Amino acid sequence: MQLNARHHRLLTSCGYFYMKYNVKIGGKNYQLELGRDAARWSCRLDGLEVDVDAIPVQPAVLSLRVGHETYEVKCECTADHIQVWVRGECYAAEVRDPRSLRARTRAADHHGPRKLTAPMSGKIVRVLTREGCEVVAGAGVVVVEAMKMQNEIKSPKKGTVQKILVNEGTAVNAGDVLAIVE
């Protein structure tokens, strides 16, 4: 199934998704577009269509088919990157979502209260500030852990923390509002 940007909003709202990532491995940057509709994946790597199919076979293990070639890929997450094992080789990957980066940059220019949302489902492992505290742009507000990867959610702007809506230990879903910075 082909996915394009027009489908994107519709698909995410009914449980399908389409994502764009910047992935950095071994000093090289790759543009990755992934879409999923039920069990089917679509994939573009640096603009080129790749025929892939993936099944999670056990926690942190993916059975991947690229064309007809099969790979059993294992994943380990550290604080700032993902380690992916392919055929006995270990690759350290940094995965970024450019949309959320853009969103953050845009938000920083804006005035008025900004919402901080969870980029992925996970658990709040740390709250780094308190309501009423002053924060600068880029200061960490809360830390979300998902798949053993800790993700610091940063303030998009300089301001005051108006509200913190989560506690340490709270489970959150992607898109949940975590805090508001005024």
Partner 1 sequence: MFKKILIANRGEIAVRVIRACHEMGIAAVAVYSEVDRAALHVRQADEACPIGAATASESYLNIPKILDAAKRSGVDAIHPGYGFLSENARFAQACADAGVKFIGPSAAAMEMMGSKTRARQAMERAGIALVPGTASGLESFAQAEQIAAKVGYPVMLKAAAGGGGKGMRLVHTPKELNPALESARSEAERAFGDDEVYMEKAIINPRHIEMQVLADEHGNAIYLGERECSIQRRHQKVLEESPAPIVDSEMRRKMGEAAVRVAKAAGYSNAGTVEFLMDEMENFFFLEMNTRLQVEHPVTELVTGIDLVHWQIRIAAGEKLPFVQNDIQIRGHAIECRIYAEDPDNNYFPSPGMISLLMEPSGPGIRLDSGVYEGWNVPTDYDPLLAKLIGYGSDRVQAIGRLRRALGEYFVGGIKNNISLFRRILHDPDFRAGNVDTGFLDTMLKKDSGQADTKLSAVAVIAAGMFVAMGATVSASDPANAASGSKNNSGKAASGWKGAARIEALRTNIGGNS
Q: Is 119 exposed, middle or buried (0-12, 13-18, 19+ CB in 10 A)?
A: middle
Of 110 and 148, nearer to partner 1 (C-beta) is 148
CB count within 10 Å of CB 10 equals 10
Spatial CA neighbour of 19 closest among 32, 7, 2: 32
Residue 40 near residue 21 (C-beta atoms within 8 A): no
Interface residue with partner 1 among 7, 8, 95, 103 (CB under 8 A) is 95
Q: Name which of residues 44 to 83 contact partner 1 (CB under 8 A).
A: 45, 50, 52, 54-62, 64, 66, 71, 73-77, 82
Interface residue with partner 1 among 104, 145, 152, 162 (CB under 8 A) is 145
Contact letters for partner 1, residues 1-20 (x by CB under 8 A): --------------xxx-x-
3-class secondary structure per residue, 142-174: EEEEECCEEEEEECCCCEEEEEECCCCCCEECC
Note whether 41 binds partner 1 by CB under 8 A: yes
27 three-state secondary structure: coil
Interface residue with partner 1 among 3, 42, 43, 135 (CB under 8 A) is 43
Q: Name which of residues 103 to 132 contact partner 1 (CB under 8 A).
A: 119-123
Interface residue with partner 1 among 5, 6, 47, 88 (CB under 8 A) is 88
How many residues line the site for partner 1 (CB under 8 A)? Answer: 64
